[in-house]
Structure 1
Amino acid sequence: MQLNLTQIPRVKSLTKEAFINNYFKPQLPVVIEQAIVDWPAYQKWNLGYIKQVAGDKQVPLYDDRPVAHDEGFNQPHATMRMADYIDLLKSGPTKYRIFLWNVLKEVPVLQKDYSYPDFGIRLMKGLPMLFFGGTDSHTFMHYDIDLANIFHFHFEGKKKCILFPQSESKYLYKVPHSLIVREDIDFSHPDLKKWPALTYAKGYSTELNHGEMLYMPEGYWHYMKYISPGFSMSLRAIARRPKNFSRAIYNVLIMRYFDNMMRRIKGQSWIDYKNEKAVANTKALLGNLN
């Protein structure tokens, strides 16, 4: 058995009216293959260019180890010069990824290489972050704390993307008081005997190539795996649906601080409790379905 995934539709380009009516209003994902062919980044951005302009920068690195109670929010697992990291990416598979690096602030020349596209909704104008990964590195299945609409642009290489809307959360073994599912689920090759609820979840998948853009609607769960070394940039628009907007406020102002407090008080037992609760909650749902 496999996950129930539908291929995300692909278009060469979209008018903003078509985007709003066909994808934004119904909250459906889409890949736009030629959304940024007019950006200088379309021609310039590759790992070699990033090494040239940002090689001396120290960068935060993350791997796929499970969240630990004593790690700070988004605390990196290692640091390295960007030039050395790119050499590492090109040398073979590595678990190390760059997550939410504000390279556009540290290397202002890169700000000249992109512009804010007009999709008919207002994009946040703060400097976007970049994400890098080597062959086989991946993110855990998660959704973003602000449940934003995400416009995800990929450069160099190929990346596998699996998405689920929030409506499928009940089948994903969601960890309470967090933005992730059980971290021991491999969404590339899930063990559906161990995680049977996943067979009920209906999601989407695609593979992104250089210059392509993936629209991820509000609060969509996403799992990203680098098939080959590459990097991506995301632009964002705030959640428009009242339920998602209010949940974003709760996540930012309450949930995050409650979870951090419980980690400090209970330590690893809090992490273990949440993981056990993710399974118990989902088993209870399955019992009601069967």
Structure 2
Amino acid sequence: MELNLEQIQRVGTITREDFLGTYVASQKPVVIEHLIEDWPAYQKWNLCYLKQLAGERTVPLYDNRPVASERKFNEPHTSMKMGDYIDLLNKKPTNYRIFLYNLLKEVPELQNDFSYPDLGLKFMKKLPFLFFGGSGAKVFMHYDIDLANILHFHFHGEKRCILFPPSETKYLYKIPHSLMSHQEIDYTNPDFEKWPALKKAKGYIANLKHGETLYMPEGYWHQMTYLTPGFSMSIRSVAKNMGNFTEATYNVFIMRYLDNFMRKVRGQKWIEYKNSRAISKTNKMNGYD
């Protein structure tokens, strides 16, 4: 048995009116295949180019180790020079990823390589984040802290994206006081005996190739698998739904600090409690207790 996933609809190009009326209004994801082909980045951005521009920059790295109490919310696991990291990506599979890194602030020349699409959303101009991964690297199922509308542009290679709308949260074994699903779930090959509620979840899937754009609506869960070494850039627009905006405000100003405080006070017992609670609450809610 596999996850109940529908292919994300694809369009070649799209007008501002169609994007707002068909996808933003209904909060449905879409892949836009040719949105950025007029960007200099479409021709220039690859791992070799970024190594040339930013090879001496020290970048934060994350891997797939479970959340632990000794680390703060979203604290990186290690660091490395960008050039050495790109060499590693090209040499062999690795779990090390770059996550939420504002390389464009560190290397301003990159800002000349793209523009913000005129799709009717007001994008936060200071937050274009980059994400890198090696062949086979996986990102845990999660949703973003600000529940933003996101345009996710992929470069150099191919990655697989699994999405779930917020309506499916009740099936995804969400960890309390966090933005993540239970980390032991392998969404590329789920064990439905261990995680039975997943059988009820309905989501979306798409493979992104160089130059393609994924629209992820507000608060959508997403899990990424890098099929080849590559990187992506995300730009975001604040949540328009008042409930999502309120939750985002809580996440940014209260939730992450509360979680860091409890990690410090209760240590690993806090992590174990949250993991256990995710399982018991989800199973009970769905009749599997």
Note whether the superposition's TM-score is higher than 0.5: yes
Q: Secondary structure at 1:23's aligned position in 2?
A: helix
Listed one character per residue, the Cα deviations across residues 111-159 of structure 1 (whole Å, up to 9, x for unaligned) are: 1000011111211111411100000111100000110001000001100
C-alpha distance in structure 2 between counterparts of 1:27 and 1:11, whole Å: 16
Aligned to 1:262: 262
Is the aligned partner of 1:274 residue 2:274? Answer: yes
C-alpha distance in structure 2 between counterparts of 1:277 and 1:127, whole Å: 33
Aligned to 1:224: 224
1:287 Cα offset (Å):
1.5
Aligned to 1:95: 95
1:285 Cα offset (Å):
1.3
**Which stretches of structure 1, 4 residues or longer, exceed 2 Å deviation after superposition?**
none
Listed one character per residue, the Cα deviations across residues 156-198 of structure 1 (whole Å, up to 9, x for unaligned) are: 1100000001110000000111100100101111111111100
Identity fraction in percent: 62
Retained in 2: the 8 A contact 1:105–1:127? no
1:73 Cα offset (Å):
2.7
In structure 2, give the amino acid aligned to 1:176: P
Which structure 2 segments of 5+ residues have no match?
none
Aligned to 1:245: 245
C-alpha distance in structure 1 between counterparts of 2:271 and 2:78, whole Å: 22
1:28-47 mapped onto 2 (5 Å cutoff): 28-47=28-47
Aligned pairs, how many? Answer: 289
Aligned to 1:129: 129
Is the aligned partner of 1:189 residue 2:189? Answer: yes
Give TM-score, length-normalised by structure 2: 0.98
1:74 Cα offset (Å):
2.2
1:28-107 mapped onto 2 (5 Å cutoff): 28-107=28-107
1:242 Cα offset (Å):
0.9
1:177-216 mapped onto 2 (5 Å cutoff): 177-216=177-216
Listed one character per residue, the Cα deviations across residues 190-215 of structure 1 (whole Å, up to 9, x for unaligned) are: 11111110010000000000000000
1:286 Cα offset (Å):
2.0
Aligned to 2:165: 165
Q: Secondary structure at 1:255's aligned position in 2?
A: helix
Which structure 1 segments of 5+ residues have no match?
none
Retained in 2: the 8 A contact 1:104–1:127? no
C-alpha distance in structure 1 between counterparts of 2:183 and 2:203, whole Å: 18
C-alpha distance in structure 1 between counterparts of 2:177 and 2:59, whole Å: 29
Q: Secondary structure at 2:205's aligned position in 1?
A: strand
C-alpha distance in structure 1 between counterparts of 2:86 and 2:243, whole Å: 41
C-alpha distance in structure 1 between counterparts of 2:31 and 2:77, whole Å: 32
1:262 Cα offset (Å):
1.1
Give TM-score, length-normalised by structure 1: 0.98
Q: Secondary structure at 2:31's aligned position in 1?
A: strand
Listed one character per residue, the Cα deviations across residues 62-119 of structure 1 (whole Å, up to 9, x for unaligned) are: 1000111110232221111111111100111100000111111111111100001111
Retained in 2: the 8 A contact 1:101–1:129? yes
In structure 2, give the amino acid aligned to 1:14: I
Change (3 A) 1:162 1:76: same
